[in-house]
Amino acid sequence: MGVAGGTGSGKTTLTQALLAKCAGVSSVLFHDNYYKRQDELTFAEREKVNYDDLDAFDNDLFVDHLEALRSGVAVESPIYDFADHNRAAETTVVEPAPVIIVEGILIFAEPRICSLLDIKLFVDTDADVRLLRRIKRDVVDRGRTLESVEEQYLGTVKPMHELYVEPSKRNADLIIPEGGHNIVAMDMIMRRIQAGA
């Protein structure tokens, strides 16, 4: 099952709600953890990378890992360090499960990923709300400055949203306003999961 939507739309809230409702029978694979390794770049250079472009991701590895999980094989997912703008040295084991939740802003824009998803959910949230959430998350949780968040949002996040994320919405099976707080949508999704997708 794929959970997509713009930055700050509520994807993680929906993902966490689904994981709670599917406790013991679910695993999650975060597309954000598959940003390409950038050891050859300085920190200043890594800060300027367009992280909202499909080319920023190691989609080959992501597809390999998703296919392995669908085949019942555990994978060692990379871990992305948002403070360092690079992959961490550590990895995390993701176990196969009857319900595999895939989360990321661009997962519906990459045809190979999209084709591996049985249920595609797009979290649709007003752009102003998404921007405010992103500012709060990046400044408070990730230690960024307001100026760097503004520069990145206007320089890459917003243009890439318009280029990739918004058009990929048409690949969704269900468009969900309010994300994980939408009780009606959550009930529909759970009935679909229980029916065997």
The mean of the pLDDT values for the chain is: 93
pLDDT of 107 over the 80 cut: yes
Report pLDDT digits (tens) over 123-140.
Answer: 999 889 989 988 998 888
Residue with tokens 């520069």: 151
> What is the pLDDT, as a whole number, of residue 138?
84
Report pLDDT digits (tens) over 136-183.
Answer: 988 888 888 889 888 888 999 899 999 999 999 999 999 999 777 888
> What is the pLDDT, as a whole number, of residue 82?
85
Helix axes 183-194, 11-21, angle to 10 degrees: 50
Between 71 and 151, where is the model more confident? 71
Count of residues for the chain?
197
Contacts of residue 163, defined as CB under 8 A and 6 or more positions apart, other chains included, come to: none
Exposure b/e, 23-37, CB count within 10 A at least 16 = b: eeebbbbbbbbbbbe
Between 186 and 163, where is the model more confident? 163
For 7, other C-beta atoms within 10 Å of its C-beta total: 23
For 179, other C-beta atoms within 10 Å of its C-beta total: 24
Sign of CA dihedral 172, 102, 162, 182: positive
Which uninterrupted H or E stretch holds 26?
Answer: strand 26-30
Report pLDDT digits (tens) over 94-106.
Answer: 999 999 999 999 9
Which uninterrupted H or E stretch holds 3?
Answer: strand 2-5
**Would you say 86 and 140 are in contact if contact means Cβ atoms under 8 Å apart?**
no
In the DSSP assignment, the letter for residue 155 is I
> What is the pLDDT, as a whole number, of residue 61?
98
User: What's the CATH fold of domain 2-194?
Assistant: Rossmann fold (3.40.50)
Structure tokens at 173: 């099976």
The amino acid at residue 46 is R
> What is the pLDDT, as a whole number, of residue 197?
54
pLDDT of 30 over the 60 cut: yes
C-alpha span between 73 and 71 (Å, rounded) = 6
For residue 63, what pLDDT band results from cuts at 50, 70 and 90?
very high
